[in-house]
Amino acid sequence: QSALTQPASVSGSPGQSITFSCTGTSSDVGGYNYVSWYQQRPGKAPKLLIFDVTNRPSGVSNRFSGSKSGNTASLTISGLQAEDEADYYCSSYTSITTLVFGGGTKLTVL
Amino acid sequence: QLQLQESGPGLVKPSETLSLICSVSGDSITYKTYYWGWIRQPPGKGLEWIGSMYYSGITYYNPSLKSRVTISVDTSKNQFSLKLSSVTAADTAVYYCATSTLGNFDAYDIWGQGTMVTVSS
CB pair distance less than 8 Å for A104 and B46: yes
Dihedral in degrees, nearest 10, Cα atoms B55, B59, B60, B65? 130
CB pair distance less than 8 Å for A47 and B111: yes
Mean pLDDT value across residues B9-35: 93
Q: Which residues of B touch A52 (CB under 8 A)?
A: 104, 106-107
Smallest CA–CA distance, residue A90 to chain B, in Å, is 10
Band (B57; pLDDT cuts 50, 70, 90): confident
Which residue type, as a one-letter code, is found at position B36?
W
Residue B29 pLDDT: 86
CB pair distance less than 8 Å for A99 and B112: no
CB pair distance less than 8 Å for B111 and A46: yes
Residues of A engaging B, defined by a Cβ cutoff of 8 Å? 1, 3, 34-36, 38, 40, 45-48, 51-52, 57, 89, 91-93, 96-104
Mean pLDDT value across residues B24-30: 89
CB pair distance less than 8 Å for B106 and A35: yes
Smallest CA–CA distance, residue B100 to chain A, in Å, is 10
Band (B30; pLDDT cuts 50, 70, 90): confident
What pLDDT digit, counting tens, does each position of B77-92 carry? 999 999 999 999 999 9
